[in-house]
Structure 1
Amino acid sequence: MTNAVKNRILYQLNFLESIGYEYHPNIEFGKNEINDSNLPNNLSELKNIVDNCYLCDLCKTRKNVLFGQGNSDAKVLFILEEPTTSEDELGEFFVGKSGEILKNMIQNVLMLDTHDVYVTNIVKCKSNDGFTTTNANSCRVYLDKQIELINPMLIVTFGEKAYKYLTNDNVQFEQVRGNILPFKYYNIIPTFSPSILLRNPSLKKEAYYDMLKIKSILEIN
């Protein structure tokens, strides 16, 4: 961006402010990160910040930001790796083939409505290169704040990458999948991602038993 263009933008912004427009309070940045202390204690306000986030290059290619969806007081929080192509196109969860699988898990096994749970992604924007730690790190402060605000009884991670990134646990996924594990102030259950189940239908039986375990935990509490 040239200085001439910057000056024109600043002139326009100053003009708008002079006639009464108000801007979002400044967010302090440091080393391309947002300070958690500056994030709001409100999901709607946090969503507004994430919807307008430009911390990484995914902002240049995304069509929609997939912040999260569902009951903010949900007992269970579902965390997936990143948006699918269908989710990016439509700006909604539970769309496309993998979204239908997740919806069926909730409705037909947990016997809940999708509005009874809360679902989000570690990476909030679709990447053409797949899930990367770099992109996940840009969104981490948002995810941590979501977990804090929702304060679920149980966290379910979908996919090996989601579990290992969230917990920093490098144990073999087969050893932890389907088990109830401690994570900070919460219990966490890792299971297969819907996209893996699409590619490997033989894993659906194991995923079904994982969901039954989740159902029993929710019913007890």
Structure 2
Amino acid sequence: MSQIQKILHLRLLYYQKMFGERYIDNINTQPSNVEVSVPMLSLEDTIAHCALCERSKTSKPSFGILPPKAKIVFISGLPLVDAFNHFVENRSSKMLQDIISNVFKLRAPEYGVLSLVKCNENDLNVPTDSDALICRQYLNQQMTLAPIKITILMGDFVLRHLLGVDFNQHKGRIFSEDGRNYLATYSLNQLLKNPSLKKEAMKHFLLAKGIL
């Protein structure tokens, strides 16, 4: 268990305490030389059992898809993958699958699909800034688990909360932060609502494909 995962687990306990959870330590009056091993949750388990916000009460958190040898990762605002690593049935998910297959020509072990916010109550539910603040810690840790060559950030919400930079200034170009390569493009919802953006987004995707 890495140090950052221990920190995430401790933060999870603090958040649960803020939401009313109570912890009581047993008092042991007898000295003991026996070392007690307390199991730590893996990152995937930590996300799966997260209960830090209202979303988690009506939706099971999604870890996403992240093969150990993923070369590229697509990050959306809300999950496009369910808790069982299956693509959800909606238009955004279908569009991303088409992009992965038809534009990038990638096989399953070569790409990851993650989200900034880990719970999706329904397709129309808009994530809030507080949702992003809670979940961002998980996404940052996920991105250290695979040798990712480039990360596609889909939409202003993801870019703003993950890196804190302006979407219009970074849209459609490859840039580096903390030794990682990123490309910002439109969200899938934007592409669905405004098909005229697809031509520009295609240029963005082809630019990212050149890194692979």
Query: TM-score, normalized by length of structure 2?
Result: 0.76
The correspondence of residues 75-114 of structure 1 with structure 2, limited to 5 A, is: 75-83=71-79, 87=81, 92-93=86-87, 95-114=89-108
Q: Could you tell me whether the CA contact under 8 Å between 2:78 and 2:115 is conserved in 1?
A: yes
Aligned position for 1:32: 15
Structure 1 spans left out of the alignment, 5+ residues: 1-26, 34-39
> Could you say if the C-alpha distance between residues 151 and 134 of structure 1 is closer, same or farther in structure 2, counting changes exceeding 3 Å?
farther
Structure 1 runs (4+) greater than 6 angstroms displaced: none
1:25-80 per-position Cα deviation (integer Å, ceiling 9, x unaligned)? xx4346418xxxxxx7xxx9311221111111111111x32211142221112111
Query: TM-score, normalized by length of structure 1?
Result: 0.73
Partner SS state of residue 119, structure 1:
strand
The correspondence of residues 129-140 of structure 1 with structure 2, limited to 5 A, is: 129-140=125-136
> Could you say if the C-alpha distance between residues 90 and 148 of structure 1 is closer, same or farther in structure 2, counting changes exceeding 3 Å?
closer
The correspondence of residues 61-76 of structure 1 with structure 2, limited to 5 A, is: 61-62=58-59, 64-76=60-72
Structure 2 spans left out of the alignment, 5+ residues: 1-8, 17-39
Using the aligned pairs only, state the percent identity. 32
Q: Could you tell me whether the CA contact under 8 Å between 1:70 and 1:114 is conserved in 2?
A: no
Q: Which has the higher helix share?
A: 1
1:125 aligns to 2:127 (yes or no):
no
Post-superposition offset of 1:82: 1.0
Post-superposition offset of 1:90: 7.9
Aligned length: 181
Aligned position for 2:37: none
* Distance in structure 2 (CA, Å) of the matches to 1:95 and 1:113: 20
Aligned position for 2:173: 179
Post-superposition offset of 1:160: 1.0
Q: Could you tell me whether the CA contact under 8 Å between 2:66 and 2:114 is conserved in 1?
A: no
| Cα-Cα RMSD | 2.7
